[in-house]
Amino acid sequence: MTTIGLIRHGITEWNSLGKAQGVSDIPLNEIGRKQAKSIGDRLSLEEHWDMIFTSDLSRAFETAKIIGNKIGLPDCHIDERLREIHCGKIEGTTEEQRVRKWGSEWRNLNLGMEDFEEVSNRGVDFLKDIVRTYKGKRILVVGHGALIGLTLQKLLPQKFQQTYIDNTSITILNHIEDKWNCSLYNCTHHLNLSKVR
């Protein structure tokens, strides 16, 4: 069995303000760093992990480094397929600003956003490569909310018709005999224990 732990990065100022981040390289804020330490502490008490992969965007990479230092895996492997969805013209805007600028039907306009199918395809391609290359290993993957959510919807469409992924939540996927299952979804138990939000 190959086990993959999908973790969303810690919170950023743009997350707090409700701004679409996409591929804008926004760093963690102090709360985000505390969240990353909390998930790192949690993982250090659970079963061992063999490797960490991360998006190249700094909010994910820093989250991965903090976790890695807590669990004795300081080397993080970067894969650009783990980047967040490219949000085109809406990057840096809030929902209120988008409605004011483009109207309430802004989602139906061509504003340069990456297609959901493309995002889920690169997420699934990455996972398939992992299980092929690191069969039987336990791999942590630090990425982004839309990337993780869309990947889950593509991988397990009957289980995940819609998704919501919290900052530093962990979702556990298991791959056994060419089949995927999800044993844990969007778990933030570590944040409740440490009172970090």
10 labeled binding residue: yes
Is 118 an active-site residue?
Answer: no
Write the CB contacts of 18 (distance below 8 Å, at least 6 apart in sequence). Answer: 94, 95
8 labeled binding residue: yes
15 labeled binding residue: yes
Is 9 an active-site residue?
Answer: yes
> With the C-alpha atoms ordered 57, 21, 165, 16, is the resulting torsion angle positive or negative?
positive
For residue 6, give the H/E element and its range: strand 2-8
Write the CB contacts of 189 (distance below 8 Å, at least 6 apart in sequence). Answer: 42
12 labeled binding residue: yes
14 labeled binding residue: yes
Task: State how far the Cα of 148 lies from the Cα of 160, in Å rounded to an integer.
Answer: 11
Q: Which residue out of 9, 144, 175, 190 is catalytically annotated?
A: 9
Phi, psi of 69 (to 5 degrees): -65, -30
User: With 0-12 CB in 10 A as exposed, 13-18 as middle and 19+ as buried, what is 114?
Assistant: middle
SS3 89: helix
9 labeled binding residue: yes
Q: Which residue out of 30, 46, 84, 177 is catalytically annotated?
A: 84
Annotated binding site: 8-15, 59
**Known catalytic residues?**
9, 84
The annotated binding site for substrate is made up of: 8-15, 59
